[in-house]
Structure formats: structure tokens, C-alpha cells
Chain A
Amino acid sequence: AIQMTQSPSSLSASVGDRITITCRASQGIRNDLGWYQQKPGKAPKLLIHDASSLQTGVPSRFSGSASGTDFTFTIDSLQPEDLATYYCLQDNTYPWTFGQGTKVEIK
């Protein structure tokens, strides 16, 4: 199975900060990568698909990019409601695999 290595596992930042989360795939997955936001007790929510395509209705402060097997997720100007755990998902090859998650806390 393709391994997705996500980092950091947690981060703390202030409102208005720019934060970055990365996922590295153990092999090439083209741009078949999504980013999800999960708030406590809720189902994950799709934010980004195809590495950089913003899902309809998602604020533009969320973005994604790709470089080879490295994928980056960015929140420009962190907001209080962005408190959550973020996961990447590779949907290139079954079994689809998630990163370990990044818990984002607000200072």
C-alpha cells in the first residue's frame, strides 16, 4: 500500500498566521490527493481535491500544491473556526490511504 507521511502531527498558531502541512507519498500518485478537515465529533469535510482544486464552497484561504510526491496544504490567515485535525488522502491506487493527521490548535 502507498504510505502517506504527514507532518507535523500537531501545530499551534495564532489567528491570522499562515500555516503549512505536508504529505509525502511513498510512490508517485500523480495529483490524486485530497485534503480533509475534521472537527471533533464530526465527519471529515473535503477541502481540496486533485492536489490543488478547491472544493465548492470552501473559503479561498485554503489551498494546496504539489511537487512530485510532496504535497502541501496551506491556510492563509488562520481563523478560530479552523481549529481541527487535517488529513491528506491519496486516491490514486487502492487501498486508498490517509496521512496520520495534523491537529491544528489556536494560540
Chain B
Amino acid sequence: QLQLQESGPGLVKPSETLSLTCTVAGGSISSSGYNWDWIRQSPGKGLEWIGSIHSSGNTYYNPSLKSRVTISKDTSNNQFSLGLSSVTAADTAVYFCARVVTVYGPWVPFDYWGQGTLVTVSS
């Protein structure tokens, strides 16, 4: 059974960089046919796709965040990470990591999710 777990600081100061890691257990992020994504949800609000890192290593970001976002992966530790620079209070949200299946025909987005981690931006 695949499991994803987000980790990182729960409090980040304005203008600093938010850094989160998603650790994957029960499967390898090195396997072709899977992408690894970040999604966030502001308190009481809807869901926003942040970006994706493909099995090729290519990354894709939401243009609304593109200049501030970096997604990378560490295959030796079976983890992928999110960096979001110059944060403001508007970046306060629950951040989720999730998997996309691309190996079987049409993609299956977000079949597995982490539990989510709340990041608050405040001084």
C-alpha cells in the first residue's frame, strides 16, 4: 500500500521560503509511469494545484506561483520536495502531496494523497 507523508515547518515568516518534503513509502518515485504533485488548500477554501515533477524529471508549475515555486526529487531517499519563496499570509494553507498515474493510458490524477500539513505564514 502506497503511503505519502508531508513534513516540514508548520510556521514560516513572511518573505522567507517555505520548504516541504513528501516521503513516499511502498513504492519508488524512480519508477516510470508516475508523476508527483503538490496541491494546497487555504483555510476554508478550495483546492489549488501547485505543480508536478514527472518521472522524466521535468517540472510543471502553476503560472500563478511559477516564479516562486520549485519542485525537486531525491530518489535516493524516495522523496520529493516543494519550495515556495517570498511567502506571504496568502500562502497559509494545508499542503498536500499526491501521485498521478500515467502508465496505463489516460492519466489517473491523485489516486494517493498525503494527509496534508498546515503551513502558517506569520511573523
Q: Can you name the residue of chain B whose Cβ is closest to the Cβ of A92?
A: B107
The answer, among A31, A87, A96, for a CB contact under 8 Å with B46, is A87
B-facing residues in A13-68 (Cβ within 8 Å): 31-32, 34, 36, 42-46, 49-50, 55
Interface string of A86-107 (1 = CB under 8 A from B): 0101010011111111000000
The answer, among B47, B52, B62, B108, for a CB contact under 8 Å with A44, is B47
Count residues on chain B whose CB falls below 8 Å from chain A CBs.
23
Q: Given A43-B116, A44-B113, A46-B111, verify A97-B49 contact (CB < 8 Å).
A: yes
The answer, among B46, B107, B109, B115, for a CB contact under 8 Å with A43, is B115
Is chain A's interface secondary structure helix, strand, loop, or mixed overall?
Answer: loop
The answer, among B46, B63, B106, B109, for a CB contact under 8 Å with A1, is B63
Measured in the bound complex, the distance between the Cα atoms of B115 and A100 in whole Å is 21
For A96, the chain B residues whose CB sits under 8 A away are 49, 109
Measured in the bound complex, the distance between the Cα atoms of B63 and A44 in whole Å is 23
Give the contact-size bracket for chain A. Answer: 20 to 34
The answer, among A45, A91, A99, for a CB contact under 8 Å with B109, is A91
Measured in the bound complex, the distance between the Cα atoms of B48 and A31 in whole Å is 20
Q: Given A32-B106, A49-B106, verify A100-B111 contact (CB < 8 Å).
A: no
Q: Can you name the residue of chain B whose Cβ is closest to the Cβ of A100?
A: B46
Measured in the bound complex, the distance between the Cα atoms of B114 and A89 in whole Å is 18
Chain B interface (Cβ < 8 Å from any Cβ of A) = 46-49, 52, 60-64, 96, 98, 100, 106-111, 113-116
Per CB-CB distance, the 6 closest pairs between chain A and chain B, nearest first, are A43-B113, A95-B62, A96-B49, A98-B47, A91-B109, A49-B108
